């Protein structure tokens, strides 16, 4: 069920992150998109460990609640697999291979890149076209993940009464979203998208609209919540609520928030160093921020000042219409967390 294939029809894009389930439903008229429904449903502490799902039943309950709160009537969806849980690589094979033998040949080639027995892997591929290096070869995108990573997500969605049409890599979903709805993709040769999640922070670097580098590392908003909890003697839930509402002691900003923001800057610096070292490139034209922590006031300006690269919040919904049942203020505050589910939802329009 791990699929890169193209499906038609509207799909719910559902992102199961380390702290919440995020759902969005899009419709399209011509080249214009509309957000028809969306919802965010929190996951209880301990249901996930970083991006691993420990309790599929509770994830299913959160998906069911998101579906209910969104008021959507659709029951067809697309799910994402974290890029850190998958192998994603472009290989080249001879163009002369008959279509009937293509799958077997690609699987044979893929075995050298996937560090698990193929019977334990959900695997798919997509022919990209002629190779730039040889007229006699074609480029093929391969993607594979442990079957258990797919099955636990399928089980959770099915518990919520949904029919899963597509399972895709989150990096592919973000690439599709940026290519479709981010104007900056046309203005910058190299664009880095950094997503600050609850427990994981990741980067996708785009060169001419294609993802060429992806990486994740353990860091996120949970660390800020835990620091608040420990410093001020609050439960984790109380700390999260206080962080959200701003009900914190006077010394919170210099003692807790400022060091966390400095750590965010260091994460971006480290990501860029990894990109430069692995690709032998030496520049990025622009950095776009997403994820819950991206909404921390002034973080884009602080990162830009330190790294010397134009930095802004990613907003693929700048020219998107909202359905009357979508609360504009609430949706606006949730935009940084909606990139992956929106990219998944776009798979229905390819």
Residues 142-180: tens digit of each pLDDT? 889 999 999 999 999 999 999 999 999 998 898 899 888
More confident call, 126 vs 157: 157
Q: What is the pTM of this model?
A: 0.84
Say if CB 50 and CB 72 are below 8 A apart: no
**Confidence (pLDDT) at 320:** 92
Model pLDDT for residues 212-245, shown as the tens digit of each residue: 888 888 999 999 999 999 999 999 888 888 888 8
| Three-state secondary structure call for residue 109 | helix
Q: Which of 124, 127, 137, 130 is nearest to 99 (CA)?
A: 127
> Judging by beta carbons within 10 Å of its beta carbon (0-12, 13-18, 19+), is residue 202 exposed, middle or buried?
buried
Pairing assessment for the beta strands 137-146 and 163-169 based on DSSP bridges: unpaired
pLDDT at 109 over 80: yes
Token duo for residue 93: 């094979």
| Domains contained in the chain, CATH given | 87-146 (3.30.1490.300), 184-315 (3.30.420.40)
- Cα-Cα-Cα-Cα torsion 234, 237, 241, 242, nearest 10 degrees, comes to 10
Percent of the chain with pLDDT over 90: 55
Rg of the chain (C-alpha set): 20
Identify which of 108-112, 143-147, 306-310 has the greatest average pLDDT: 306-310
Helix axes 236-245, 221-232, angle to 10 degrees: 110
pLDDT at 65 over 70: yes
Q: Which of 159, 177, 142, 122 is nearest to 344 (CA)?
A: 177
Say if CB 10 and CB 26 are below 8 A apart: yes
């Amino acid at each position: 069920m791990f699929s890169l294939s193209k499906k038609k029809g509207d799909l719910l894009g559902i992102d199961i992150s380390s702290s919440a389930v995020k759902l969005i439903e899009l419709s399209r008229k011509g080249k214009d998109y509309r957000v028809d429904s969306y919802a965010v449903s929190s996951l209880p502490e301990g249901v996930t460990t970083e991006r691993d799902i420990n309790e599929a039943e509770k994830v299913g309950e959160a998906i069911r609640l998101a579906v209910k709160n969104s008021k959507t009537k659709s029951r067809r969806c697309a799910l994402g697999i974290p890029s850190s849980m998958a192998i994603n690589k472009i290989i080249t094979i001879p163009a002369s291979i008959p279509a009937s033998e293509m799958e077997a040949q690609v699987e044979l080639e893929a075995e050298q890149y996937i560090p698990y027995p193929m019977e334990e892997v959900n695997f798919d591929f997509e022919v990209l076209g002629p190779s730039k290096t040889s007229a006699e070869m074609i480029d093929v995108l391969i993607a594979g993940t442990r079957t258990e990573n797919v099955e636990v997500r399928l089980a959770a969605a099915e518990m919520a009464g949904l029919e899963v049409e597509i399972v895709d890599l989150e990096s592919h979903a973000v690439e599709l979203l940026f290519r479709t709805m981010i104007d900056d993709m046309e203005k910058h040769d190299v664009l880095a998208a950094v997503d600050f999640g609850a427990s994981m922070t990741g980067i996708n670097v785009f060169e001419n609209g294609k993802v060429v580098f992806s990486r994740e590392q353990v860091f996120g908003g949970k660390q800020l919540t835990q620091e608040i909890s420990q410093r001020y003697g609050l439960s984790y839930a109380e700390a999260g609520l206080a962080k959200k509402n701003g009900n914190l002691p006077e010394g919170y900003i210099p003692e807790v928030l400022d060091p966390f923001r400095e750590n965010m800057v260091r994460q971006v610096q480290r990501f860029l160093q990894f990109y430069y070292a692995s690709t032998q490139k030496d520049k990025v034209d622009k950095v776009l921020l997403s994820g819950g922590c991206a909404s921390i006031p002034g973080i884009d300006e602080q990162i830009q000042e330190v790294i010397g690269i134009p930095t802004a919040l990613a907003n693929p919904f700048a020219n998107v219409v909202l359905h009357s049942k979508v609360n504009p203020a609430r949706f606006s505050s949730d935009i940084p967390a909606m990139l992956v589910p929106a990219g998944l939802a776009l798979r229905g329009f390819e």
